[in-house]
Amino acid sequence: MTPTQDRPALDRLLSPRSIAMVGASNSPTRIGGTVFGNLLRNFPGEVYPVHPKDEVVQGRTAYRSVRDVPEAVDMAVIAVPAPAVVDVVAECAALGVGGATVITSGFAEAGPEGRALQDRLTAVARETGIRVIGPNCIGYMNTHGGVMANFMLTPDQPMPEAGPVALVSQSGGFGSYITNKAVLAGLRLGWFVSTGNEADVNVAAVLRHLVERPEVGVLLSFVETLRDPEVFVDTARRAAELDKPLVLLKAGRSEEAARAAMSHTASIVGSAQVLDAVCRQYGVFVASTMEELLDLGTIFQDGRRAGGDRVIVMTSSGGAGVLLADEAGQAGLSVPELPQDEQAALAADMPMPFYGSTANPVDTTAQTTAMPDAYRKVLNKVAASPSADMLTAVTWAGPGPANDAIVEMYQTTTKPVAILSTAWSPQFQQAGVPTFTDPCRAMVALAALARQSDRGPLPPDPAAFAADAGRVRRVRELIAEAGTETTLLESTGKRILAMYGIPVTREEMVTGEDAAVEAAERIGGPVAIKVMSYQLPHKSDAGAIRLGLRGPDAVRAGYRDMLDEVARRAPGAAVEGVLVQQMAPARLELTCGVQRDPVFGPMVAIGLGGVLVEVLSEAVLLRPPFDVDTARAALGRLLGGRLLTGRRGLAEEEQRAAAEIMTGLATLALELGEIAEIDVNPLRVADGALLAADALIVVNHD
Amino acid sequence: MTPTQDRPALDRLLSPRSIAMVGASNSPTRIGGTVFGNLLRNFPGEVYPVHPKDEVVQGRTAYRSVRDVPEAVDMAVIAVPAPAVVDVVAECAALGVGGATVITSGFAEAGPEGRALQDRLTAVARETGIRVIGPNCIGYMNTHGGVMANFMLTPDQPMPEAGPVALVSQSGGFGSYITNKAVLAGLRLGWFVSTGNEADVNVAAVLRHLVERPEVGVLLSFVETLRDPEVFVDTARRAAELDKPLVLLKAGRSEEAARAAMSHTASIVGSAQVLDAVCRQYGVFVASTMEELLDLGTIFQDGRRAGGDRVIVMTSSGGAGVLLADEAGQAGLSVPELPQDEQAALAADMPMPFYGSTANPVDTTAQTTAMPDAYRKVLNKVAASPSADMLTAVTWAGPGPANDAIVEMYQTTTKPVAILSTAWSPQFQQAGVPTFTDPCRAMVALAALARQSDRGPLPPDPAAFAADAGRVRRVRELIAEAGTETTLLESTGKRILAMYGIPVTREEMVTGEDAAVEAAERIGGPVAIKVMSYQLPHKSDAGAIRLGLRGPDAVRAGYRDMLDEVARRAPGAAVEGVLVQQMAPARLELTCGVQRDPVFGPMVAIGLGGVLVEVLSEAVLLRPPFDVDTARAALGRLLGGRLLTGRRGLAEEEQRAAAEIMTGLATLALELGEIAEIDVNPLRVADGALLAADALIVVNHD
């Protein structure tokens, strides 16, 4: 065993010090020839071709098999026909190879036989500890380590310039497409990894590995299926901790996978919403287009951060200024008017008569742009303005003194800069000036940068969550009362909610008219009465509810009438008792609950409730665990913020109460994995307090 | 007078047969030199320089003044200092010149003095009939007529290729920026007109002129302030009639201009929403970014139309296929799975073993792309598929057989094609192949094309609206009852609404308890009573309302109690009577009304009402006149369609009733210009019917 074997296998796989390639070819048009040619380009260590017949491959002595290679290499690239792959990987593992990059196709994507082959490959990785990228991938590139283990370029094409940006893509084809675009856009890509079928290593694992590498400053990712959500969340937390932006482009958003949905609120969430919510919670940027993925890479690659959200816009066209200011506002940035003294200083450099503006947007007019000295002075003053945290300037691509001045300004200031240009320009790319070709895209990028610069505290670590064992035992006793029933009685559900600090209506479970009357008197005021029966989870459909009963006579009459109606309409229903319940007033009704996403597990949702729940479908989602501040911030996003700012919206203490209900639900969902679904609807809001008036809990007895 | 003077002045201005330039210069670095050099480039007619001293300007005999020019030219370009401009234009008008393009700055953009100069310029245009473009503009380009009356290019830069796309921009600077980008993107720009300060001719007028020109197929426009909304709407109707797409990019969307707002629903609309609504109603595309403006130009310039919304996606990367299918769905297009026979035909051309997909997205895999014959065959079959109306294919920029095959396919098929490429390519641009650099942008463009292809009937012509004079007289009599009050009594408002077919609650205006009791008996069921007073437009604030009174005692008690409370809380309020009103049941509450936009005039709005009106702010807007079908389609957009599809949403007959209420409000707003605002809130929905339960009408007595 060589010393390099002391490193973790994934590290050996992605940063090898020696490489073998099984399936290396002398033919430049074959994949095995292209990949081997690429391996030879920049790699400082040994690269051993393995070939069944040829003595020499592309100038290197070839070996008959991996066994014959003179050392246990860190990484083997494998490009042999699919049926041979598993044995080669197993052989590598036995020889102490760290990892394999399997280029070959014909696995899970090719039907049941391929699926079986891939399962065997997964098993070899699990059993031996060798790490495997692929199969059916385009390979990877690690420019810092000189590794070009891929066929996304041919050996005669120029290498991307090494830099802080890492791109991880499940899709090899589209990953290399994005790489191509990224290089055109001036991104300095230090890493590109395609994971293909993900028999072993997946996107989350690669991101988790790369986030720790010092040369990586920005992580971009394109995924179709997000596997290993815990690793993904952990990566996101770590990326936030290290202040390395993580940007995700997700395909397959429209697929509405089989997914446990909340009974009353089936329309509230789709899984793309869950992904978006989780990403937002953990500070991951979700790019809505491929170009946005690259735009965020562009703004983040120089590592600059902003002290606030104030943008200064400099342009020689009033129209462009107005459009940029619009887009800034749309993206959530501010474009403050400059104070008089700054404006006077700018005006002093403008040619006379001056028909532009010094307010912000600073409109220099075309006349100033044509005067190199004036333009340079104004630009540098603008960049130095204490009234702005970021700078946008508009220019035309092509050489000239204005663009020279922009490069000089960029190199002088430490503020984030986004230049709007008619096209990419070699001059800007060489100098690393972040360049955008559309006003909206420039501002979306700056807004992301402002968000990254203003990160709050790290969200709680899911791994650190500790359950309250005593409470869990008590809840399980209550659940046990339901026997094999999966939907708990409302009365039971509310007792459970109360154990997590969720305020519920005052209520008593009774049998008989007299007991109901007595309970109503103890509760006080008008009451509701409801039949509790496992067969009647939707009470109003069976007439199993009476509302607003005031006084003994009304309670008595309502009780009799209700039980008669239930006996008539649902003769088979076994009545467990009658719940006598306080009538809760409401200025506003909310609905909240828990549902389990097939990828991310339990998610707490809160949204508008009441009669409009059928026609509305807006909710915010949070993944447990989270703290009260996070919950309050989430409430602030409901209805575009109007739930808090609207005249009848939530008051301060109501917001706190709602946030505490959300954290209570979160703890409940984490403590009891068997709870499949919770639906609190309505959650009645009045006079500074919230009250759960109905609750449905569904358990999974498996 | 020469024969050319028979043409309309705007036609002479934009398609001149002879040109003079006042302020032509021999210095190539001066604007007067650049513009004159441009004028000489391609213009087939005479171009006369006017210069105070030089005998010859750029090789042409110069004239001392416009008077000395040997003919009354169609168009004069004016680039003299601002103080001299008005006199020159007046002189041109006196000499029979058709129009002037005023390049000079220093008018309204330069303060009060400039503003006064510009007003004089406007007056000259109005009084003499000469048409004026500018001042403070960059000029215009009419490649079809060989006119380069601008300084957006220097005479040594290549001319844009003539074509069907016209760009009209208020901003000269940003207009030429867009032009620059448009040429890079492969747009064939036949026209570019900048209107600058719009002393006379504005963007709407230029669009109205260009829409009729046979060489113009697509109209793109960038505006900051939209003047002449009637001309704009008329242009939009004409563009729809001629099937010429009109695309608008609007800056200044965030400015919330002073604007009459509906009293309860101030948050419902901003003026950008009004613009969007009007554009949607008249078939105008609103681009959300500059690049989208160009993307729509790209997809529209070949004039192809789609037979439906089905897209077929061909790619060699599964990941790209999924992303494109997502974006297609997001944009409202469908990506149907191909039928088995078509799939079999495609599979027959694929290399074996084939690990891609023939379903749609058709994933050829990189292997097929590397085999030119197979790729060409598959591509042509895909383009010929009877299952798709449009085609997207993914490629890498650069020469090669795959891109040759794409050009050949594009020239063979008549279907709309959108190619996703890593970059613009000269090969595609020469062949006119619509190319996009982002999956989302490609699909947004195809969706716009599908919408343009599936236009409904033309909206009614506002100019053709005819008022019902008898009804108008009767409404004015009712309004007169209010004297100088601007907010009508609810009782009056509802009588007016009823005259326009809007169903209102059964109700009677009474004085005294006995009369109230009798009225309640005639109306039947529980009633509401409300104090009618001009001083109490917001009744509940003053306790001027009682709800749900059932039987004579309750009505009598409520009446007394209510008047006591009003006397106490609003002692100064003069009571005109008490309205006794049917209680209207409601499953759902809507709110609808009319407000006047400062640009587009009356707009009918409908949205969700009831207690949530404070926290929600979604509404759809229509500009009168419109028909019932248009109103129903608008309802379908409320809450993302859920108002119609939700389980408690509007039933068929309720939709019809709502649409008829909207057309009733539209007629009312058009017939009575003095009605500033109507607010029907709530509009109660139950059992197939809608009922206006309250109504506020504000009139303007000026």
Of B180, B353, B612, the CB nearest to A612: B612
Q: What is the pLDDT of residue A71?
A: 92
Residues in chain A within 8 Å Cβ distance of B325: 254
Nearest to B85 by CA among B135, B139, B24, B127: B135
- All residues of chain B having their beta carbon less than 8 Å from the beta carbon of residue A105 are 355, 365
Which of the residue ranges A51-55, A259-263, A432-436 would you say has the lowest mean pLDDT?
A259-263
A611/B617 CB distance under 8 A:
no
Say whether B649 and A614 touch across the interface (CB within 8 A): yes
* Mean pLDDT of the residues in chain B: 91
The residue among A548 and B669 whose pLDDT is bigger is: B669
Mean pLDDT of A502-511: 96
Q: Which residues of chain A are within 8 Å of residue B439 when distances are taken between CB atoms?
A: 289-290
Q: Are B339 and B387 in contact (CB under 8 A)?
A: yes
Residue A563 predicted with pLDDT over 60? yes
Name which of A168, A174, A289 to mutate to probe chain B: the one with the most chain B Cβ atoms within 10 A of its Cβ: A174
pLDDT for the residue A408? 97
CB contact under 8 A, A106 and B289: no
pLDDT at B279: 95
Determine the distance from the C-alpha atom of residue B34 to the mean position of all C-alpha atoms in its chain, rounded to a whole number: 35
* pLDDT reading at A615 higher than 90: no
Chain A positions touching B649 (Cβ under 8 A) are 614-615
Q: What is the largest CA-CA distance in chain B?
A: 102
Per DSSP, helices labelled H in A149-202 are 172-184
pLDDT of residue B383 exceeding 60: yes
pLDDT of residue B369: 77
DSSP string, A146-160: TEEEESSS-TTSPPP
- The pLDDT confidence band at residue B155, using thresholds 50, 70 and 90, is confident
Residue in B closest to A442 by C-alpha: B289
pLDDT in tens, B682-696: 899 999 999 999 999
Residue A326 has its nearest CB partner, among B253, B320, B439, at B253
Cβ proximity of A448 and A296 under 8 Å = yes
Whether the pLDDT of residue A369 is over 80: the answer is no
- For residue B277, the surrounding DSSP H or E stretch is helix B271-281
Question: What one-letter code names the amino acid at B292?
Answer: E
Q: Whose CA is closest to B299, among B443, B425, B407?
A: B443
* Spatial contact of A504 and A497, defined as CB atoms under 8 Å apart: yes
Q: Which chain B residue is nearest to residue A440, measuring alpha carbons?
A: B289
Q: What pLDDT shows up at residue B415?
A: 98
A-B CB pairs within 8 A amount to: 199
Residues of B in contact with A136 (CB under 8 A): 355
Q: How confident is the model at residue A265 (pLDDT cuts 50, 70, 90)?
A: very low
pLDDT at A257 over 50: no
The CATH class for the domain spanning B160-289 reads alpha beta
B288·A616 Cβ contact <8 A: no
Task: Name every chain B residue with its beta carbon within 8 A of the beta carbon of A424.
Answer: none
β-bridge pairing A588-597 and A601-608: antiparallel
The CATH label, of 3.40.190.10, 2.40.10.220, 3.40.50.2300, 3.30.470.20, for the domain at A588-699 is 3.30.470.20
- The mean per-residue pLDDT over the stretch B173-189 comes to 92
Q: What is the mean pLDDT of residues A485-494?
A: 96
Domain B506-583 has CATH 3.40.50.300: no
Would you call B366 and A173 a contact, using CB atoms and an 8 Å cutoff?
yes
Class of A506-582 in CATH: alpha beta
Q: Where are the beta strands (DSSP E) in B517-600?
A: 527-532, 545-549, 577-582, 588-597
Judge whether residue A273 has pLDDT over 80: yes
Question: Confidence band (pLDDT; 50, 70, 90) for A254?
Answer: low
Class level of CATH domain A3-228? alpha beta
For the residues B326-352, what does the mean pLDDT come to? 93
Of A174, A315, A320, the CB nearest to B323: A174
Burial of B153 (0-12, 13-18, 19+ CB in 10 A): buried
Test B639 with A615 for CB contact under 8 angstroms: yes
With beta carbons under 8 A apart, name residues in chain B contacting A267.
642, 646
For residue B355, give the nearest of A109, A288, A291 by CB distance.
Answer: A109
Band (pLDDT 50/70/90 cuts) for residue A49 is very high
> Do residue A251 and residue B319 have CB atoms under 8 angstroms apart?
yes
Residue predicted with more confidence, B269 or B656: B656
Residue A556: the pLDDT is 95
What is the chain B residue with the closest CA to A328? B254
pLDDT at A319 over 90: no
The mean-pLDDT minimum among A4-13, A661-670, B412-421 falls in A4-13
The domain defined by B307-453 folds into Rossmann fold (3.40.50)
Confirm whether B506-583 and B588-699 share one CATH topology: no
Q: Is the pLDDT of residue B597 over 80?
A: yes
The token pair at A571 is 């003769």
pLDDT above 70 covers a percentage of chain B that reads 95
Q: Where are the alpha helices (DSSP H) in B466-620?
A: 469-480, 490-498, 513-523, 552-569
Q: Choose the weakest-confidence range: A220-234, A636-650, B258-272.
A: B258-272
Q: Which residue ranges make up each domain of chain B?
A: 1-137, 160-289, 307-453, 506-583, 588-699
Q: Please check the confidence at residue B266 and state whether its pLDDT lies above 50.
A: no
Gap from A331 CA to chain B (nearest CA, Å): 12
- Per-residue pLDDT averaged across A368-390, rounded? 93
Chain A positions in Cβ-Cβ contact with residue B329 (cut-off 8 Å):
254
Write out chain A residues lying below 8 Å of B686, CB-based: none
A219 near A207, Cβ under 8 Å? yes
Cβ(B162)–Cβ(B143) below 8 Å: yes
Nearest Cβ partner of B317 from A177, A320, A642? Answer: A177
Of A251, A326, A639, the CB nearest to B252: A326
B370 neighbors B390 (Cβ within 8 angstroms): no
Tens of pLDDT, residues B39-89: 999 999 999 999 999 999 999 999 999 999 999 999 999 999 999 999 999
Does the pLDDT value for residue B264 go beyond 50?
A: no
Q: What residues does A504 pair with on adjacent strands? A: A692
Mean pLDDT confidence for B452-462:
90
Q: Which residues of B touch A318 (CB under 8 A)?
A: 109, 171, 173-174, 224
Task: Give yes or no for residue B227 having a pLDDT over 80.
Answer: yes
**Which of the four pLDDT bands, split at 50, 70 and 90, describes residue A610?**
low
Separation of alpha carbons A168 and A215, rounded Å: 15
Q: Which of A317, A423, A615 sits opposite B174 (nearest CB)?
A: A317
Residue B595: name the closest of B315, B267, B249, B126 by CA.
B267
Closest chain B CA to residue A267 = B646
Residue of B nearest to A287 (CA): B440
pLDDT in tens, A125-162: 999 999 999 999 999 999 999 999 999 988 888 888 89
Measure in Å the smallest separation between the Cα of B590 and chain A Cα atoms: 11
Q: What is the DSSP string of A366-382?
A: HHHHTSHHHHHHHHHHH
Could you say which of B171, B323, B648 has the minimum Cβ distance to residue A251? B323
pLDDT digits (tens, 9 = 90+) for A441-467: 999 999 999 999 998 888 899 889 999
Cβ-count burial of A207 within 10 angstroms (0-12 exposed, 13-18 middle, 19+ buried)?
Answer: buried
**Superfamily of chain region B1-137:** NAD(P)-binding Rossmann-like Domain (3.40.50.720)
pLDDT classification of A352: cutoffs 50, 70, 90: confident
Residue B5, pLDDT score: 64
Question: pTM of the full predicted structure?
Answer: 0.91
Q: Which residues on B lie below 8 Å from A172 (Cβ)?
A: 317, 319
CA distance A2 to chain B (A): 38
